[in-house]
Structure 1
């Protein structure tokens, strides 16, 4: 266990031994915590300096409004949207940005609220969805969406819902929010009862009125439209999101292409040549768009279904 987590983990376990509800209450702020944004690395800075930057306004999880930093490169006819993960930032995609621009794509990335250069102190997946909605107003349907880790889950939820994207790529992504709870439990070592209480508290606080928010925060229970092209990339040794999540995503989306890697871990995978080549080839291949059918499960806009949240 990370030494910094020993005391918080002990606090959750101790509280949980008294009462699962108390343990869940102690765990909730940790589950929703957003650490200080990581800096832009020296390797990524040159690419970021070439971006056309601007901000867009979304409601944010507190419904007070938050400014989201958006970056754009290239001016080609294809629009590719990149989504970083929890505690990440747009600059992590610098290598992929360079490759896609070289292939004539327009590339758009953003820092989610409380991340990178964006405002706010809390965030969760609905903020990714609200950002996609704003970007779609500007660019129309996306030719592709690429998401890493938590951003990969957001990409899956969006493309299964109301965001029009011709194809999607996930890199080291969980298949659903359930895996986030499982990962949090593995990290702190609390009981199943505490984890169940945390789920209830999470849903009641951030999705009031939704009887089962986990049903649409899942590509397993809510896969992409039939025939929508999907590439799933994951490293077998990923210590953050288990490799088995790629199998769950692929099983729920028949026809998905899967690229397993070895020795790249959770973050280095973003700049590996084998991954860059596969993603660029997949993104630039000719394919028909798959607009969302009005008969799909989500009848109401995702951006309006979810109230604020902030989670790992």
Structure 2
């Protein structure tokens, strides 16, 4: 367990022994809390130094307003948005930024609330959706959204909910918001009863009046519009988000392609040459053929693990 979670976990379990409601009340402040932001990796700093930076104001999880830092590279009418994951930051996409700018795209990314250089200490998926809305207002239709991990789920939920994008790429994505809750349960060792009460408390506080917000915060229960091109990449040995999450997403979106990798884990995958090649080819492909065009390392349908034809490897840590 992360040392920072030991004390909260003990407090939640102690309260949970009294009652599931008490345990959920103690756990609630920690569920959407974000630890200290990761620093910019030295390899990513030169690319970040070239970005045009600005701040945008979004409501934030508490709906009291929070400033988010947005980064932009390149120019022109074609825009690709890059959406980082939990405990991530925009700089993790530096290798992909360079590839897409070289292809003539305007590339836009951001540090979500409580991440990178943005303000705040708490966040949730709706914050990513608010950022997408701000970026859409400024740039119009996106040629693509590329999302990593939690940011991949946000991209899927956003496009399913009306964000105007020509195609979606997910890398190491989660399939639904319930998986976030399951991960939190495992990290803190919560009982099923406490977790169920936490789910109810969270929904009531941040989605008042919505009988089941987790239904639409799901790429499985609420798939992308028909014919929407989707490329999903995921490492089979990912220790943070199970490969099965991307299999669930692809199963719910019949036109999607799944590209498995080996040995890249959850974060190194973002800078692997083969992954970059697959993403760039997918994003730059003609829209009329993107769903059918052969991709480097395209896999067999979900479930046919023995039919793997991609073993993308090689990247810096």
TM-score, normalisation: structure 2:
0.88
Q: Which secondary structure does the structure 2 equivalent of 1:54 belong to?
A: strand
CA 1:119–1:224: 2 relative to 1, 3 Å: same
Unaligned runs of 5+ in 2: 290-317
Aligned residue-pair number: 290
* Higher RCO structure, 1 or 2 (CA under 8 Å, sep 6+): 1
CA 1:288–1:143: 2 relative to 1, 3 Å: farther
Q: CA deviation at 1:47?
A: 0.0
Distance in structure 1 (CA, Å) of the matches to 2:259 and 2:100: 19
Aligned to 2:192: 192
Distance in structure 1 (CA, Å) of the matches to 2:107 and 2:59: 24
Aligned to 2:183: 183
Distance in structure 2 (CA, Å) of the matches to 1:5 and 1:114: 17
Please give the residue correspondences for 1:290-309 in structure 2 after superposition, counting only pairs within 5 Å: none
Q: CA deviation at 1:63?
A: 2.6
Asked whether the 8 Å contact 1:147–1:154 carries over to 2, the reply is yes
Spell out, residue by residue over 1:24-77, the C-alpha distance to the aligned partner (whole angstroms, 9 max, x if none): 112112212111211111111000011111112222223332221111111133
Aligned to 1:309: none
Aligned to 1:305: none
Spell out, residue by residue over 1:95-136, the C-alpha distance to the aligned partner (whole angstroms, 9 max, x if none): 100011111111000111111111223221111111111111
Please give the residue correspondences for 1:53-92 in structure 2 after superposition, counting only pairs within 5 Å: 53-92=53-92
Asked whether the 8 Å contact 2:33–2:123 carries over to 1, the reply is no
Q: Which secondary structure does the structure 1 equivalent of 2:158 belong to?
A: helix
Q: Which secondary structure does the structure 2 equivalent of 1:129 belong to?
A: helix
Distance in structure 1 (CA, Å) of the matches to 2:59 and 2:200: 24
Please give the residue correspondences for 1:1-312 in structure 2 after superposition, counting only pairs within 5 Å: 1-287=1-287
Q: Which moved more, 1:132-141 or 1:22-31?
A: 22-31
Distance in structure 2 (CA, Å) of the matches to 1:281 and 1:171: 15
Asked whether the 8 Å contact 1:77–1:104 carries over to 2, the reply is no
Distance in structure 2 (CA, Å) of the matches to 1:121 and 1:10: 22
Q: CA deviation at 1:288?
A: 5.2
Distance in structure 1 (CA, Å) of the matches to 2:30 and 2:198: 11
Q: Which secondary structure does the structure 2 equivalent of 1:234 belong to?
A: strand
Q: Which secondary structure does the structure 1 equivalent of 2:115 belong to?
A: coil
Distance in structure 1 (CA, Å) of the matches to 2:114 and 2:181: 21
Q: CA deviation at 1:14?
A: 2.4
Q: CA deviation at 1:223?
A: 0.2
Q: Which secondary structure does the structure 2 equivalent of 1:231 belong to?
A: strand
Spell out, residue by residue over 1:206-260, the C-alpha distance to the aligned partner (whole angstroms, 9 max, x if none): 1111111011100111000011000111111111111110111001101201011
Aligned to 1:295: none
Asked whether the 8 Å contact 1:86–1:151 carries over to 2, the reply is yes
Spell out, residue by residue over 1:164-183, the C-alpha distance to the aligned partner (whole angstroms, 9 max, x if none): 00000111111000111111
RMSD over aligned Cα atoms: 1.6
Q: Which secondary structure does the structure 1 equivalent of 2:62 belong to?
A: coil
Spell out, residue by residue over 1:174-198, the C-alpha distance to the aligned partner (whole angstroms, 9 max, x if none): 1000111111112222211011011
